[in-house]
Chain A
């Protein structure tokens, strides 16, 4: 029973981690919060829905949602971040991204309606019994995809020139620029990657919950913020670990406590972390503002 809950939690947490990684990548590079990231995630899920309804294969659905979300992320950077970056205020981007989130949310409401819609399963899932644990092939696909994407990201950041440019920009944009890094390009690529991961998470969570609503992004977006804090702002590995931890905690709290508290745990953990260890579990560069 416990092991089963643990596996369910890891599956949920993997998808959460993908959202949180996006937040933390953007925060790491720009030191700014992207409050429309949850909406990018939600739009990704709806693109997935449209593709599924058009009869596209599950892998193409996932890929299409990622591409669409990446394109959207680049647009958000261009519209809500770049014009106000020079001012160096961290408040203005909060406002511009709230406004962008509002526009995205209500555009989806306009196209798909405000009511939750059913998200068809990608394929007829079969159950596999592994000792005491029962896994469906769909669960395996969700967990495997999120872990695979995280591994790919880790490899990209460590081993490619663009990955190195992004890490250098996160370390210090001015010095990175002086060393010949195209900082603007690194920022655009960061948004594209962060948003593509959010789009993937959208489709994976929609497969998991088999339903979708235009307000789905707010909840998951908030959870992503909490996870980013748990792992340490700007710390990609921290976001991965934090996502899995929050997923497991949430599933266990539903199984052994009242389900209505499930959302409280992420924030209780987040506040505790901020009070006890403001740099997150795995540490982060402390920002003064």
Chain B
């Protein structure tokens, strides 16, 4: 069927999509996080530690990683209540760096030498399965009371509060859920690469996660899916340019953001796509 190389591309792209969705969720409530790499690290280290030292079954270890991600997400959400826009971006930056330095300094997690010997457990089915669950979750949440509260909060916080949206509760929920998704992504990552070190979850990771979601467009979660898929498969497509690859990649992203600053899938394009779908269903 699929070659090993193709499987690894699908798994890494899938994990990138999961991470982009973990950014998208709080972002859809107007909360921009530049620290998703930190939550990913928490999920990766928690699940890896459980697998290696307690022989915890993989689904349970994965869930524990998600749980730690969501609890820490809740803790990060509290300062976020007082901060907006770029201030929030900066404090989540700082959070991601603190997590990195934490794992760099705790000997139980291997410190700078990294954490090795993680049993292989992530298969393409785990990744695709989680993606299907997330896609179901995002389609359901979109039209729900919570989903509408997210949108209201993003568009105008004061107006949302005046309409009875409990902004404290909604923001904390957004951060905790985003943290949980990133934690799950981290667990899948750790049990596929089988070796993790703090540098894998640094600021570079967090910025790329943000880039995936914004590149795809923040109008719908499909934007994150499209953005992360395209940008994580793009380096494979650029193999022929050899060592010009990263430069060309950067130039392509720059050009795209200048041409379509609102991202690939904006509201207009989504409306056209869903109209097309309905027309197809009628015809």
Contact = CB atoms under 8 A, between A and B. Distances in A.
Q: Do A and B bind each other?
A: yes
B251 A226 contact: no
Interface in A79-110: 79-80, 83-84, 87, 89-92, 94-96, 98-103, 105-107, 109-110
A95 B89 CA distance: 13
Nearest to B82: A278
Contacts of A229: 90
A285 B105 CA distance: 36
Contacts of A90: 85-86
A91 B83 contact: no
Interface stretch (B49-57, B124-132, B180-188, B202-210): B202-210
Given A89-B261, A274-B91, A278-B83, A260 B253 contact: no
A274 B254 contact: no
Given A84-B261, A264-B101, A271-B91, A95 B211 contact: yes
Name, among A107, A264, A287, the residue most crowded by chain B CB atoms within 10 Å (CB to CB).
A264
A261 B105 CA distance: 7
Contacts of A267: 94, 97-98, 101
A279 B246 CA distance: 37
Contacts of B85: 90, 287-289
A274 B87 contact: yes
Contact of A91 (B94, B112, B214, B246): B214
B204 A99 contact: no
A261 B244 CA distance: 36
Nearest to A269: B94
A100 B207 contact: no
A79 B261 contact: no
Contacts of A268: 98
A159 interface: no
Nearest to B95: A271
A218 B204 contact: yes
Contact of A274 (B83, B97, B101, B244): B83
A239 interface: no
Given A84-B257, A274-B91, A106 B250 contact: yes
A92 B250 CA distance: 14
Nearest to A286: B87
Contact of A92 (B79, B249, B261): B261
A201 B111 CA distance: 31
Interface string A252-278: 000000101101100110110011001
Given A222-B97, A271-B79, A96 B87 contact: no
Contact of A35 (B207, B214, B258): B207
A47 B28 CA distance: 42
B32 interface: yes
A127 B39 CA distance: 47
A75 to B, nearest CB: 12
A17 B222 CA distance: 42
A99 B90 contact: no
A94 B27 CA distance: 14
A35 B250 CA distance: 14
B257 A270 contact: no
Given A260-B112, A263-B97, A267-B94, A98 B104 contact: no
25 contacts: A35-B207, A84-B258, A90-B86, A92-B257, A95-B257, A96-B258, A98-B207, A99-B257, A100-B254, A103-B251, A103-B254, A107-B247, A110-B244, A222-B203, A226-B94, A233-B87, A260-B104, A268-B98, A270-B90, A271-B95, A274-B83, A275-B82, A278-B82, A278-B87, A287-B85
Interface of A: 27, 31-33, 35, 79-80, 83-84, 87, 89-92, 94-96, 98-103, 105-107, 109-110, 218, 222, 225-226, 229, 233, 258, 260-261, 263-264, 267-268, 270-271, 274-275, 278, 287-289
